[in-house]
Amino acid sequence: MTLRALELFSGLGGWRYALGELGSVVAAYDISPAANAAYELNHGERPHARELATLPAECLKAHGTDTWLLSPPCQPFCRMGNRQGLADPRCKAFLRLMAIFEEAPPKQLVLENVEGFLGSDAHALLIATLDRHGLHTQEYRLCPTQFGLPNQRPRVFVLASKRRLPHDPPPGLKPGPLAPFLDSEEDASLYLGAAVLARHKPGLDLVRSQDHRTACFIGGYGQRYVGSGSFLVTERGIRRFSTREVARLLGLPEAFRFPENTPQEKRYKLLGNGLSIPVARWVVQQLEG
Ligand SMILES: C[S@@+](CC[C@H](N)C(=O)[O-])C[C@H]1O[C@@H](n2cnc3c(N)ncnc32)[C@H](O)[C@@H]1O
């Protein structure tokens, strides 16, 4: 089976990396110019820069796809967000997609989100919609640490298919040390100064190169300290992880890069929104049975 996929809320194109030779992304959609520029640089095609909340159904229908791969904004369901669910304006695009689904349901769908999505009104709407159209569903709570990566990023995946889906356990690999994920040449500007350390050090999640874990890197990692991701302790001091190191911990290919004019904070933001590629790949493989 070769999937013909729509990548919705495409960001850096994590689903496209995950899909690999299992299929092709026929079209991608994202409103962010920075995400779309990075997507184009790495995947050779520019996503449609469209607001999904007002997208006419015909636009999606015209692509003739069988699979939707989507990662809607997670803030309405985040521990640190307001948890308004569907009442949050950032859910308008998801609501629109559910309406388009009614008109033109794909044969398969995979949705990724934060754990708070489970049990939300958006989750209930999704499951009811999938059921009504006779799709079988399967749900997974997965973390890259189960896939051998030293990075915590717990996420929920909802899979749906016209065919019955397996419920395989994830690989259950043990994460190795951080050392192989670190840059061979450090960027000195990543080190935290004395004033920042005096203020924030007690709350920082500190790790060393021999440790086997990092905390989840969130979009605000480039500007924030406490609760935004891990900081590395070296002989020289305490530093942020570089964007390349975060990309490696997400399982993005070594060839992945940002357009040169993408500001550092934006890079962290895009990565913080991104997918763990080995986890997403395993999930897509489940569609194959
Ligand atoms: C959680 S991120 C998805 C990240 C993506 N899976 C990846 O691999 O990088 C959500 C994305 O949805 C986009 N987005 C949010 N609201 C949107 C809307 N209303 N219409 C189109 N894109 C939207 C954001 O720009 C962001 O890139």
Domains and CATH numbers, the chain: 3-172+275-287 (3.40.50.150), 179-269 (3.90.120.10)
Mean pLDDT to the nearest integer, 88-99? 96
Q: Distance between CA atoms of 154 and 277, rounded to whole angstroms?
A: 13
Q: Does residue 113 have its Cβ closer than 6 Å to ligand 1?
A: no
Whether 1 shows a pLDDT value over 70: the answer reads no
Torsion of CA 268, 269, 270, 271, to 10 degrees: 50
Which residues are 141's β-sheet partners?
A: 156
Mean pLDDT along residues 91-113? 97
Residue whose CA is at the smallest distance from ligand 1 atom 17: 31
Average pLDDT rounded to a whole number, residues 72-82: 86
Is the per-residue pLDDT at 28 higher than 70?
yes
Q: What is the DSSP letter of 59?
A: H
Q: Ligand 1: which residue has its CA nearest to atom 8?
A: 14
Q: Could you give the angle at which helices 264-272 and 33-43 cross, rounded to 10 degrees? A: 80
Cα distance between residue 277 and residue 253, in whole Å: 9
Mean pLDDT of 111-120: 96
Find the 95 Cα to ligand 1 centroid distance in Å: 14
Assess contact for 197 and 238: CB atoms under 8 A.
yes
Task: Give CA–CA dist 278/289, Å, rounded.
Answer: 17
Interval 128-147: pLDDT, tens: 999 999 999 999 999 999 99
Per-residue model confidence (pLDDT) at position 274: 98
Please tell me the distance from the alpha carbon of residue 9 to that of residue 21, in angstroms, as a whole number. Answer: 21
Q: Indicate if the pLDDT at residue 82 is higher than 80.
A: no
What pLDDT does residue 57 have? 96
Residue whose pair of structure tokens reads 């308004």 in the numeric block: 84
User: Of the residues 32, 246, 276, which should be mutated to test ligand 1's pocket, given the most ligand atoms within 8 Å of the CB?
Assistant: 32
74 is catalytic: yes
pLDDT at 79 over 80: no
pLDDT at 247 (0 to 100): 98
Mean pLDDT of 263-285: 98
Helix (H) or strand (E) holding 248: helix 243-249
Taking CA atoms only, the protein residue closest to ligand 1 atom 27 is 11
- State in Å: Cα 251 to ligand 1 middle: 19
Which atom of ligand 1 lies closest to the CA of 52? Answer: 20
Alpha-helical (H) ranges within 104-208 are 121-132, 194-200
Phi, psi values for residue 85, rounded to 5°: 60, -135
Atom of ligand 1 nearest to the CA of 10: 5
For residue 36, pLDDT beyond 70? yes
Beta-strand ranges (E) seen in the chain are 3-8, 23-29, 67-70, 108-113, 136-142, 155-161, 205-207, 230-234, 237-240
Query: Ligand 1 pocket check: which of 9, 10, 19, 156 to mutate, most ligand atoms within 8 Å of Cβ?
Result: 9
Q: Does 96 sit in the ligand 1 pocket, CB within 6 Å?
A: no
* Average pLDDT value for residue range 230-242: 98
Identify whether the C-beta of residue 73 lies closer than 8 Å to the C-beta of residue 122.
no
Element (H, E) at 104: none
CA pair distance 79, 273, nearest whole angstrom? 15
Per-residue pLDDT at 288: 84
Task: State the distance from the centre of ligand 1 to the C-alpha of 15, rounded, in angstroms.
Answer: 12
Asked whether 95 lines ligand 1 (CB < 6 A), one says no
